[in-house]
Amino acid sequence: MSENRTMIKLCGMTCREDVVYAVNVGVDALGFILAKSPRQVNLEKVKELSFNLPPFISRVAVVVNPEPEELAEIENSGLFDYIQFHGREEPEMLAKTVLKSIKAISIAAEEDLSQVDKYKESADYLLFDTKIGSQSGGTGQSFDWSLITELELPYILAGGLGADNIEEALKELKPLAVDINSRVEDEPGKKNYHLVKKTVEKIKSFHSQN
């Protein structure tokens, strides 16, 4: 990943037109949610959505507490570069995966950061997302960023990111990458092209000026 530019992942892809648009507008990675979700897709659908992508576009499988058999199927499909774990997976599962691993840590309060020490050695990357009640991710809301301003490790920032707050996030936190989803949608799984473009342009503009 680039050290001088925040990488951009657009998650919750469900239709081919959105995939094509995202690639053309300049995102670096696409997220496909395999876990139960309004944006859930299966492997056959991912194959259809990601057909003939240009080089260097990363494909991310998003899972929650996968069974070993499910994980093996994902790894052997040849469809993904990363697996993003959103459940209570044991660190050993992350360490053993043959793909690059991302561990999502959902944050509502400071005590949630105890998960950092649990996973920082086994995951290739940590991702910080918003936790509201039992819902982790896809909330469209941001968590209290001040909780992670002192962290001295590279990470991916998620949770309610969009055109209205992305510049503030980049300035305050300087994340390695950002993960955008619900704040750039018309409805779950259907991206709003104006909002996607505006958010991506603001990220790129920020780095050209800083």
Catalytically active residues, by annotation: 11, 129
Question: What number of other Cβ atoms are within 10 A of residue 127's Cβ?
Answer: 25
Name the residue among 3, 59, 9, 58 with its Cα closest to residue 34.
59
**Sequence-separated (6 or more) residues with CB below 8 Å from residue 97:** 71, 75, 83
175-178, Cβ contacts within 8 angstroms, sequence gap of 24 or more: 175/6, 176/1, 176/6, 176/7, 176/125, 177/1, 177/6, 177/7, 177/8, 177/9, 177/28, 177/29, 177/125, 178/6, 178/7, 178/8, 178/9, 178/203
User: Residue 136 belongs to what H/E stretch?
Assistant: strand 135-136
